[in-house]
Amino acid sequence: EVQLVESGGGLVQPGRPLTLSCAASGFNFDDYAMHWVRQGPGKGLEWVSGINWNSEYIGYAESVRGRFTISRDNAKNSLYLQMNSLRPEDTALYYCVKGGGFDEGWFDPWGQGTLVTVSS
């Protein structure tokens, strides 16, 4: 069974950094692109960032480009999202999702999410 378990969320002050992690199991991690998708409180889904299987291709939403960095460690079956210069509008539930090809909106399955709250 595919499992994606996020961690690292919490309450953080504006301007401070935070790093999210996602531990993957149940599939050949290094065969798939991986993504982060977030959902603000009472809001819709927003793609944050994606990375292909060997980290050759990486993409970011305009809203986080230059502040967030996605990475993966295939040896550890893990995905990361380093978030700098956090803003209140980054407050959201952050989902780790398994992708298909890098250039697809194919997200299946989704983790349970980790909550990031940016507030002073």
Partner 1 sequence: QPVLTQPPSASGTPGQRVTISCSGSGSNIGTNFVYWYQQLPGTTPKLLIYRNNQRPSGVPDRFSGSKSGTSASLAISGLRAEDEADYYCAAWDDSIHVVFGGGTKLTVL
Residues of this chain that bind partner 1 (CB under 8 A) = 35, 44-47, 50, 59-62, 95, 100, 103-113
**Cα dihedral value 90, 19, 64, 14, nearest 10:** 50
Tell the smallest beta-carbon distance from residue 51 to partner 1 (Å): 12
Tell the smallest beta-carbon distance from residue 29 to partner 1 (Å): 19
Tell the smallest beta-carbon distance from residue 13 to partner 1 (Å): 28
Task: Identify which of 57, 29, 62 has the alpha carbon closest to the alpha carbon of residue 47.
Answer: 62
- Cβ nearer to partner 1, comparing 11 with 45: 45
- Cβ nearer to partner 1, comparing 15 with 105: 105
